[in-house]
Amino acid sequence: MPLLDVSDVTLTFKGIAALVSVCFQVEEGQIVSLIGPNGAGKTSMLNCISGRYHPEAGSITLGGSELLTVPTHRRTSMGLSRTFQNIALFRGLSVLDNLMVGRHAQLKYGLLSSILYFGAARRAEDAHRRRVEEIIDFLNLSPYRHQPAGLLPYGLQKRVELGRALAAEPRLLLLDEPMAGMNLEETEDMARFVLDINEEWGLTVLLVEHDMGVVMNISHQVVVLDFGQVLAQGAPEAVQADPKVLAAYLGSEDATFLGR
């Protein structure tokens, strides 16, 4: 059974189809990339999985459980966590606190129980804090842990956002263009972190990314969307050589990477 199973998902905006009977699977332990020209429906697909958009038809299961009937806020506790195409951090909060907020999805002890069972809540809070510190170390964010996230350079903010998504301890991590707007060095760092998360922690990743070099290098599987439909899917080499894919990218600046 795949970890994520997207089946016949259809989404329209005022009669215009953004997704048309989209089907694909993400196997546990893999990095799967969702690619396609601008406006192909990639972000919409992530939004359907995370619960921001509600498709008219279809099914999306995570570990065999239907997601579409689950309210958005409960999908995090089912094991989903994501980053956004545009940075969505708490700019005034420190790096550490941003990750603690991400961790909150996991917190077992709310305010009331903190008052009633102070000791247990305190121990839980300490454990959460230790885990968050581990993630900060892993992402080489230690020198910035007490700095306001909003004051960091762009590439580091993207990394903090990744950290916050990781802090929720997801089963499936959704990344929407984590390398967008980055220079070469920042892009290589981010690609390395995504690979390490997958290889060292075994985390399953669904990645939307337009940097074809990165996609072809780190993905186990690639799904190509075009005008809301799945145009091709398979191993990177197969997708890269698919004439349908090349045709869809014709004239796009991303196409140059496909031939390499």
Ligand X SMILES: Nc1ncnc2c1ncn2[C@@H]1O[C@H](COP(=O)(O)OP(=O)(O)O)[C@@H](O)[C@H]1O
Residue ranges in contact with Mg ion by CB under 5 A: 42-43
Taking the CA atoms of 61, 82, 77 and 11 in sequence, report the sign of the dihedral they define. negative
Nearer to ligand X, 86 or 183 (CB): 86
Among 13, 112, 185, 253, binds ligand X (CB under 6 A): 13
What is the nearest approach in angstroms of Mg ion to the Cβ of residue 177?
6
C-alpha to C-alpha distance for 245 and 250, rounded to whole angstroms? 9
Q: Does 15 bind ligand X (CB under 6 A)?
A: no
Q: Which does 69 bind (CB under 5 to 8 A by kind): Mg ion, ligand X, none?
A: none
- Residue 49 makes CB contacts below 8 A (sequence gap 6+) with 4, 6, 60, 67, 80, 174, 206
CA torsion 126-131-135-136 (nearest 10°) is 10
Q: Which among 24-32, 40-48, 93-101, 211-219 is the span making contact with ligand X, rule CB under 6 A?
A: 40-48
User: What are the angstrom distances between the C-alpha of 22 and each of 5, 172, 234?
Assistant: 10, 19, 15
The option from ligand X, Mg ion, none interacting with 41 (CB < 5 to 8 A, set by class) reads ligand X
Element (H, E) at 31: strand 31-35
Q: Which of ligand X, Mg ion, none does 207 bind, CB closer than 5 to 8 A by kind?
A: none
Could you tell me if 238 and 223 are in contact, meaning their C-beta atoms sit under 8 angstroms apart?
A: no
Of the candidate spans 39-47, 95-103, 153-161, 251-259, the one that interacts with ligand X by CB under 6 A turns out to be 39-47
With beta carbons less than 8 A apart as the criterion, state whether 222 and 35 touch. yes
Task: Name the one range near ligand X by CB under 6 A: 34-42, 146-154, 156-164, 230-238.
Answer: 34-42
29 binds, among ligand X, Mg ion, none (CB under 5 to 8 A by kind): none
Binding region for ligand X (CB under 6 A): 13, 18, 36, 38-44
